[in-house]
Amino acid sequence: MFGQLLNIAGNTFIEAIRQPVYFVVITAGWLLQILNVALSGYTMGLTDESEVTKDDKMLLDVGLATVLLCATLLAALICTSVVSREIENKTALTVIAKPIGRPVFIIGKYLGATAAVLVAGVILSAFFLLGLRQGSISTVRDGVDVVVATFGLGALALSMGVGAWANFFYGWVFSSTTIFLMAPAIVLAWAGTLLVGEGWTLQPIGTEWKPDVMLTVASVLLMLPVLSGVALAASTRLGQVMTIVVCAGVLLGGLLSNHVFGRRAIDNVPIARVAAVEVLSDDDEDFLDPRDQWKLTLELSPELPVGRGDSVYYGPAPSGLRLAVPPHDRFEGDLGSGNDVLTAPGSVTVERLGGEKLDELTIVNAGGLEVARAPMEGDFLFLRPTVYNPAMLGLWGIVPNIQFFWLVDAVTQGHQIPAGYVGLTAIYALLLVIALNGIAVALFQRREVG
């Protein structure tokens, strides 16, 4: 079965690479990346605190969007060609009539199509990174980076020249030969720009290396197997046009998932964020015992009015997800009375406010409320427990959340991207791929192919 799977995946990959539309979309993609350098000349800020500054912020956004849209279109076209068109042409019957299970057939098609989409994604990402090294051309005074132009155009000329030569003398397919050469050539061209600076001077690789940008590109590439899974599942029952519509709908819905479903699924409003914590009275520093006191220094003064005796909740997310403090009633006793604080029903209560800008809170665990953990730096504060909408929470969980893969805003706003976040995103992508392949197998299991 494993050999059958590899054979189907390999044949599907070669078939996808040889399709004329594959070469056309990639060509359109790198031409758009060149145009993006000139079209992104809109001032987006003058700060130098992030890896991408000024007009290059727009270039980053538009360039990665070009990669994503071209790859989405390719995923829909390839999956339609290797599944629904084979069903229409009765060629799928030839394979399934042999001792090959339908799940093996579908999974093999997915692996081959996804490999082709990832190759296209890598090529377009390399062109994007070359454009980012060039930078946005906002005025006529902004010159062309000769190193980028030489390496990039050289890789293109080499791959297309060899592809044309092999086609003329050996009869090889021009498009697939060119793609096979272009993938390593353009990646090597980008790697060369890391080592060679302007004026053809050698430089350390870290000079042009942008870790957060690379993590952003990696997250976009992680998105492509998910989109291929969507396209494959749709193509088992739909034609080419409707598969493209479904892919576009999932992409748009996934990008808007947080706005449409997420903000309605979890209802809470943070009042401030904790900048520092200080233990005032807590022997074991767990904030679990009655009369434990902690002082919280806030980044800014609370956005909503906070008073002495108010209940307070804290957690790691600004949405109010996974609060460390369980729901509880407001403290009704005398905060100045140690006996009231000791014997009252459990609550986390504001004991006093301080600081010149009211940016300090002293909180007390009245009655020994069972909190999940003590407050930490970076926590968000709330005045009420989080309210969940089960219907919206379910939709938010079902719709693939493409926004998790889109990290452009973090780069343009100067926020460092933890490598662990990309690891979690990879796990999320793997779970989505498994689910989508399961749906594709189920839809294809009773599909008439004869």
291: CB partners within 8 A, 6+ apart: 281, 338, 341, 342, 364, 365, 366
Tell me the per-residue pLDDT of 93-127, one tens digit each, with 9 for 90 and over.
666 666 777 788 888 889 999 999 999 999 999 99
Of the pLDDT bands very low, low, confident and very high (cuts 50, 70, 90), residue 92 is low
Angstrom distance (rounded) from CA 116 to CA 357: 57
Quick one: tokens of 44? Answer: 């987006």
What pLDDT is stored for residue 260 in this prediction? 86
What pLDDT is stored for residue 121 in this prediction? 93
Strands (E), 191-328: 196-197, 201-202, 266-267, 272-281, 292-298, 313-315
What pLDDT is stored for residue 270 in this prediction? 92
What pLDDT is stored for residue 445 in this prediction? 80
Angstrom distance (rounded) from CA 116 to CA 137: 32
Which percentage of the chain shows pLDDT scores above 90? 36
Tell me the per-residue pLDDT of 19-32, one tens digit each, with 9 for 90 and over.
888 999 999 998 99
48: CB partners within 8 A, 6+ apart: none
Q: Judge whether residue 317 has pLDDT over 60.
A: yes
Of the pLDDT bands very low, low, confident and very high (cuts 50, 70, 90), residue 49 is low
Mean pLDDT of 50-79: 83
What pLDDT is stored for residue 140 in this prediction? 60
Angstrom distance (rounded) from CA 144 to CA 81: 40
What pLDDT is stored for residue 417 in this prediction? 86
Q: Judge whether residue 40 has pLDDT over 80.
A: no
Give the alpha-carbon dihedral of 291, 294, 300, 302, to 10 degrees.
-10
Quick one: tokens of 348? Answer: 């986390």
Least confident piece of the model among 105-109, 152-156, 314-318: 105-109
Mean pLDDT over all residues of the chain? 86
Neighbours of 199 (CB within 10 A): 8
Query: Does 167 or 198 have the greater pLDDT score?
Result: 167
What pLDDT is stored for residue 90 in this prediction? 65
Q: How far apart are the first and last CA of the chain?
A: 23
